[in-house]
């Protein structure tokens, strides 16, 4: 199949049809009417509904039923007023929905469910220019306007790029993914002109590549990709993109250019790893596995994942400080449980450990070190005389934890723990080693295992 | 015992008495007469004998029977003449000795044994100033003259300092020791004024400390101690001093100031380690020991030790490159055998090993790496798909050597081997592990073992 055919077939699967468009328009019209009604009842002049996001721009993908509807207050409205009255309006509108919850960003908003659509009702200030925004969300309508007048005729390309990014695992600027936002993908298409030109450009990208559509950027960014916000010269739209998602996109782009295929848009789902494969992998690799398993805190992913990453990094630092050596590690969260999994090259160490003291010429420190470690008979943990190596005092002492699992069991509380993960860990956790990890039967954990080992057998 | 008493008692043991002085003078007179006789027989006008070194300066220690006698040719003599005729004279003189051998520095000289004295008969050019020296040894007579006129009254202090340095293991600028030369110890006493002032100064030394008695130094040196040669402004007399001997002297000086004792001049000899203690130490430490044992090449220490150090460093580099981890290491040479001994924190590793490829954005290298490792079915050694981590491609491959001893057994030939050690290794070597090391019964090896572990029990 040639590239044109492939893209046509992808679009046939992801482009919303007239029926889907109509349904969405009906829902939008309905909610707009509700907002108008509530606003007029409350006699709030100047407050109006604004549709933003991919629905407003015609760049959403079939089956995505997300609506971002902003309740825009006059630019000079009172901040407290917007907070209370904005939320009142949103709640009253949402009282007609199939259900709703209150969520928090810089100020509260409502997430509601209307006829199968997930709708965010977000109060904002309708300021006159992007330079005068009063809260972070006020920027969105400007993004909307910038994209709307430039995206006509490019909607298909944006849809193709979003689908390609989803398939590659790099779509979404949420804190779990650290990938490309919808707005970023739209700007890339506007800048490069088409899906395929974005792909060709990515094949040449290097960290630090900079795109400034308006040529108005005023700040240096250290991010891997810098796309100056056309509505804000100091902001990098790609600030949330992490290194490995950046290069994964480059890698996928290169593979696509080498051999385009439907599979690059619709990958075969990863299978899960059964007990036999897991024990075979353990034998084949010879490494040790340690999993810290605990109850998953009941918070949204954008709160959960940064805390899981923090725990992962803090555990890695701790085991390295203690001279164990790590091959790989990752975090997982299922329905009710969460875990950090570490694979060790070295998970056991001998009793003796070299303790490094000050340089011999650092007189004061040298004295303290010698005073402490020369009283050998008082300390069972001191295994040698103080000696000199590479200009410094050293002494052989006994290691407290001979295994990484033991270290983690006893010292996890000294790791950097986010609030919710910390609470969960303090209320209990399990450390599983090697074949014990197969006790976790959760299907999504078994899928995670398959990915963890980059297993060759996992692909076919 | 107070310090004055200690120093008096040390001197009583190390200061040559009148009898010893007389005997030395007799030997010197005898050799001078022989040289005069040979020179006159050969009709070599302007060639004369010069006594240099500690014997000439009255700074030798009782029992040291080393004589440095230079056969000084006119400063403008022919280089080839000096080489052949100088050696002829030395050989003819030495034919009266109890035995002699030819040795090589910049040019050949004779090492002879006269009545129990070890005598170096060294041809040199008697140049008019140190600025005009024609071979490295020509500098020595200038050192001699500089010290002679300044050392009167300080001989005892030099002897004390030399004895203190011997006891500390830092005396000798040979390539095995990397310590303080006799000339250097004399300059230190001249500069600081006495033994105790040298000790007090060393207590404050830091790497890079610079002493320039003549204030004529013209060159920056990066050595840990810089003592500008009073007879040569570009030369650092302490260039051979290595970091750990430098700081060992600082450490000993500090201990002496804290608590002076006879033991600091005459330490209790280190005992040797028997089988029981060795196996107890292995159990207590939990580390793995690997000893590479081979025939000791029949060369002098100044040739042997640099090659042993080179092998030691090259082995350390190799095992680290292969991700094993070392706790300690040292070299040993006995009568007929030599060895490098390594103590490992990690001497065994799992089958799987992470192989790091190029950054994803390095297009050409990326392609080569992927081409090589994506044909998994062709390679049993590839254990995973190519994956991305920290911006680079990686792939899990199988490790060739699971143990450090195996690695060394099979790859020692790829290490940097000096000429003589290389020949010996190529003709055969043994790798001993853990308790097998106790197969080496050599007494000096057992003393070496005691020091290797800085064992607490080794001191009392």
Confidence tier at B376 by pLDDT (50, 70, 90): low
- pLDDT one-digit tens code per residue, A354-370: 999 999 999 999 999 99
Question: What are the φ and ψ backbone dihedral angles of A358, each rounded to 5 degrees?
Answer: -75, 165
CA dist A146 and A230 (Å) reads 8
Task: Give residue A459's pLDDT.
Answer: 37
Look over chain A and give the mean of its residue pLDDT values, rounded to a whole number: 94
Residues B431 and B282 in one domain: yes
Instruction: Return the number of CB contacts < 8 Å for A and B.
Output: 139
CA angle, B220 then B221 then B224, to 5°: 140
Q: Are residues A186 and A258 in the same domain?
A: yes
- Residue B72 backbone dihedrals phi, psi, to 5 degrees: -90, 120
Q: Do A455 and B360 touch (CB under 8 A)?
A: no
Same domain, B173 and B214: yes
Residues B389 and B451 in one domain: no
Which of A239, A264, A289 is the last residue before a domain boundary? Answer: A264
Same domain membership, residue A126 and residue A38: yes
Residues from chain A contacting residue B205 (CB–CB below 8 Å)? 361
| Model confidence band, residue B362 (pLDDT cutoffs 50, 70, 90) | very high
Q: Give the Cα separation of A63 and A439 in Å (integer).
A: 36
Same domain, residue pair B379 and B323: no
CATH code of the domain containing A193: 1.10.1410.30
Contact by Cβ (8 Å): B341, B330: yes
Max CA pair span of chain B: 86
pLDDT number for residue A377:
56
Q: What is the mean pLDDT of chain B?
A: 94
Rounded Cα distance, A231 and A221, in Å:
17
A129 — pLDDT class (breaks 50, 70, 90): confident
- pTM score: 0.87
Across the interface, do B349 and A346 touch by the CB < 8 Å criterion?
yes
Provide the number of structural domains found in chain A: 4
In a domain, B158, yes or no: yes
Q: What was the ipTM of the complex prediction?
A: 0.90
Q: What is the band of A458 on the pLDDT scale with cuts at 50, 70, 90?
A: very low
Going by pLDDT thresholds of 50, 70 and 90, the confidence category of residue A375 is low
Q: Please, which pLDDT band fits residue B379 given cuts at 50, 70 and 90? A: low
B374 within domain boundaries: yes
Residue in A170, A345, A370 to test binding to B, most B beta-carbons within 10 Å: A345
CA distance B371 to chain A (A): 12
> Residue A379's pLDDT is what?
65
Average pLDDT over residues A417-422: 96
Query: Do A391 and A406 reside in the same domain of the chain?
Result: no
Task: For residue B278, give the H/E element and its range.
Answer: helix B275-285
Considering A264, A288, A308, which residue would you say is the last residue of a domain?
A: A264
pLDDT at A222 over 50: yes
Distance, CA of A280 to CA of B267 (rounded, Å):
59
Residues spanned by the domain of B389: 357-398
In a domain, A233, yes or no: yes
Same domain, B239 and B111: no
Per-residue pLDDT tens over the stretch A302-314: 999 999 999 999 9
Shared-domain flag, residues A245 and A288? no
In a domain, residue B120? The reply is yes
Do B448 and B376 belong together in one domain? no
Domain CATH for B410? 3.30.70.590
Instruction: Based on the fold, state whether residues A340 and A299 are members of the same structural domain.
Output: yes
Overall average pLDDT of the A322-345 stretch: 97
Do the domain assignments include residue A9?
no
In whole angstroms, give the CA distance from residue A31 to residue A90.
10
Backbone angles phi, psi at A21, to 5 degrees: -60, -45
**Best B384, B389, B452 residue to mutate vs chain A (most A CBs within 10 Å):** B384
- For B90-102, letters b (16+ CB in 10 Å) and e give bbbbbeebeebee
Same domain, B190 and B228: yes
Among A285, A370, A398, most B C-beta atoms within 10 A, so best to mutate, is A285
Q: Which residue in the set B327, B349, B361 is minimally distant from A247, CB to CB? A: B361
pLDDT in tens, B400-458: 999 999 999 999 999 999 999 999 999 999 999 999 999 999 999 999 999 999 877 54
For residue B58, give the DSSP letter: T
Partners of B383 on chain A (C-beta within 8 Å) are 284-285, 456
Domain boundary among B264, B295, B321: B264
Nearest chain B residue to A373 by CA: give it: B456
Residue B22 in any domain: the answer is: yes
């Amino acid at each position: 199949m040639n590239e044109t055919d492939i893209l046509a077939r992808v679009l046939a699967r992801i482009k919303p049809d007239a029926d889907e468009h109509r349904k969405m328009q009906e829902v939008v019209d309905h909610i707009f009417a509700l907002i108008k009604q509530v606003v007029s009842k409350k006699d709030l002049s100047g407050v109006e509904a604004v549709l933003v996001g991919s629905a407003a721009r015609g760049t959403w993908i079939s089956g995505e039923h997300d609506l971002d509807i902003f309740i825009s207050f006059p630019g000079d409205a009172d901040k407290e007023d917007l907070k209370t009255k904005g939320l009142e309006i949103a709640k009253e509108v949402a009282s007609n929905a199939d259900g709703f919850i209150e969520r928090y960003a810089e100020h509260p908003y409502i997430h509601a469910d209307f006829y199968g659509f997930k709708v965010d009702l977000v109060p904002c200030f309708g300021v006159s220019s992007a330079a005068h925004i009063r809260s972070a969300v006020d920027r969105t309508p400007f993004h909307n306007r910038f994209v709307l007048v430039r995206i006509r005729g490019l909607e298909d390309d944006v849809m193709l790029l979003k689908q390609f990014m989803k398939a590659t695992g790099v779509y979404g600027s949420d804190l779990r993914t650290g990938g490309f936002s919808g707005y970023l993908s739209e700007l890339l298409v506007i800048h490069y002109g088409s899906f395929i030109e974005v792909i060709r450009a990515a094949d040449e990208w290097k960290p630090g590549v900079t795109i400034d559509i308006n040529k108005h950027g005023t700040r240096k960014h250290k991010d891997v990709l810098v796309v100056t916000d056309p509505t804000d010269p100091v902001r990098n739209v790609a600030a949330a993109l992490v290194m490995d998602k950046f290069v994964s996109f480059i890698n996928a782009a290169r593979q696509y250019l080498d051999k385009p295929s439907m599979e690059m848009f619709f990958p075969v789902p990863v299978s899960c790893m059964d007990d036999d494969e897991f024990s075979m992998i353990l034998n084949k690799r010879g490494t040790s596995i340690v999993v810290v398993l605990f109850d998953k805190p009941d918070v949204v992913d954008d709160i959960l994942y940064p805390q899981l990453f923090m725990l992962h990094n803090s555990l890695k630092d701790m085991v390295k400080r203690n001279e164990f050596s790590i091959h790989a590690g990752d975090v997982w969260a299922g329905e009710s449980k969460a875990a950090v999994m570490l694979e060790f090259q070295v998970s056991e160490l001998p009793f003796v450990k070299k303790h490094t003291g000050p340089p011999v010429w650092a007189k004061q420190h040298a004295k303290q070190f010698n005073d402490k470690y020369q009283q050998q008979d008082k300390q069972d943990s001191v295994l040698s005389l103080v000696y000199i190596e590479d200009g410094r005092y050293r002494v052989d002492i006994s290691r407290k934890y001979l295994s990484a699992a033991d270290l983690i069991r006893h010292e996890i509380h000294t790791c950097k723990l986010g609030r919710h993960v910390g609470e969960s860990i303090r209320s209990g956790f399990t450390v599983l080693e090697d074949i014990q990890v197969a006790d976790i039967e959760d299907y999504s954990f078994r899928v995670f295992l398959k990915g963890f080992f980059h297993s060759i057998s996992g692909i076919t």
